[in-house]
A and B are shown apart, each in its own frame.
Chain A
């Protein structure tokens, strides 16, 4: 049982890490492909990310002279998520499928919400630095909730398959 849980946790962790790196690579690939004159591939990636981000160039980091696939806040959240995943095995047991206390998640979201709301309401102008720092913090903390959740989901799914049927 313990071996299965450890294996499940490793599968989830490896899959999350691979997906996160792929996602981040696509964010960088959009401007790089445009700089390399692969316009169609670049346009497909930019169009794909337009479903999840406003992509405003004045609020985006630039790579190879073009804006990244998502804005600076989104890029920072994704980068923070990868940082959180890298730190995860050192700070928590991978097999632990319980969430950390919820106040940590709320506390990590508050700076992002204040930074976003302040900009929208015109109370203050957020900067690249504020968007990046608050985004990295939220993304890193989010990794500590997403990972155990998916570990728990995989444990449940595998346990569901392994459970003998009552009417057999």
Chain B
């Protein structure tokens, strides 16, 4: 992994996933199995595949996906914190409380939810931030997990070089631009096609006889 150029793929995949996950409305696609995180991880894996001459291993896809997830979590926090302070997205919060009340049919819970809605409406920006922090942290952890999954699946889907043999490894300084079929008659045909009789060795050949 160290010799791979993973920084740019992870950065681009992470920023795409983080921005799309942070914008209210567009982020709703994450309700479909954290779709933006899977997409971000897969983009990072695809970019890593495109810029690497050798086949990318599944583990490298997981690693670049995890890095993209970390970046996505950071971008998500940077976008979400001002939105929380400005109380953008309160409508979604209220919808959640309403849904919880409806599931329960319990007057005690409904009263609790009503109080929660009132409290969240009257909270100062700092209070809103503090109460949202645990959910943000849990979301960031989930982001890394799903983005790792996206990186893994990205390699599974986009890496097409797995069945090809790896390129030959030459020692440093070894010339690699020989013309085709150089040197001539290499590798040698065995047993020799002409000249020198095979001697007494049968199929195993033998010393040339004078």
Residues on A facing B (Cβ under 8 Å): 34, 37, 39, 43-44, 46-48, 50-55, 57, 66-67, 74, 77, 97-99, 102, 105-106, 142, 145-146, 148-157, 160
Bound-complex Cα distance A44 to B119 (A)? 17
Q: Is the beta-carbon distance between B104 and A34 smaller than 8 angstroms? A: yes
Q: Is the beta-carbon distance between B100 and A146 smaller than 8 angstroms? A: no
Bound-complex Cα distance A46 to B100 (A)? 8
How far apart are B56's CB and chain A's nearest CB, in angstroms? 10
- Residue B142 is within 8 A (CB to CB) of chain A in the complex: yes
Given contacts A54-B32, A67-B103, A105-B157, contact A149 B96 (CB under 8 A): no
Q: Could you say which of B63, B106, B156 contacts A99, with CB atoms under 8 Å apart?
A: B156
Q: Is the beta-carbon distance between A106 and B34 smaller than 8 angstroms? A: no
Q: Is the beta-carbon distance between A99 and B33 smaller than 8 angstroms? A: no
Q: Is the beta-carbon distance between A149 and B31 smaller than 8 angstroms? A: no
8 A-B pairs within 8 Å (CB atoms) are namely A39-B108, A48-B142, A51-B139, A52-B34, A52-B142, A55-B31, A99-B58, A155-B59
Which residues, 92 to 147 on B, are CB-close (under 8 Å) to A? 96, 99-100, 102-104, 106, 108-109, 112, 134-135, 138-139, 142, 146
Query: How many chain-B residues does the 8 Å CB contact rule pick out?
Result: 38
> Contacts of A54 on B, CB cut-off 8 Å?
28, 31-32
> Contacts of B152 on A, CB cut-off 8 Å?
145-146, 149-150
Nearest-CB residue, chain A, relative to B61: A149
How far apart are A44's CB and chain B's nearest CB, in angstroms? 8
Q: Is the beta-carbon distance between B112 and A145 smaller than 8 angstroms? A: no
Q: Is the beta-carbon distance between B157 and A102 smaller than 8 angstroms? A: yes
Residues on B facing A (Cβ under 8 Å): 1-2, 28, 30-34, 57-63, 96, 99-100, 102-104, 106, 108-109, 112, 134-135, 138-139, 142, 146, 149, 152-153, 155-157, 162
> Contacts of B1 on A, CB cut-off 8 Å?
156-157, 160
> Contacts of B104 on A, CB cut-off 8 Å?
34, 39, 66
Q: Is the beta-carbon distance between B156 and A145 smaller than 8 angstroms? A: yes
Q: Is the beta-carbon distance between B135 and A152 smaller than 8 angstroms? A: no
Nearest-CB residue, chain A, relative to B60: A156
Bound-complex Cα distance A124 to B28 (A)? 23
How far apart are A161's CB and chain B's nearest CB, in angstroms? 11
Q: Could you say which of B33, B155, B157 contacts A106, with CB atoms under 8 Å apart?
A: B157
Q: Is the beta-carbon distance between A156 and B108 smaller than 8 angstroms? A: no
> Contacts of A37 on B, CB cut-off 8 Å?
106, 108
Q: Could you say which of A39, A105, A156 contacts B59, with CB atoms under 8 Å apart?
A: A156
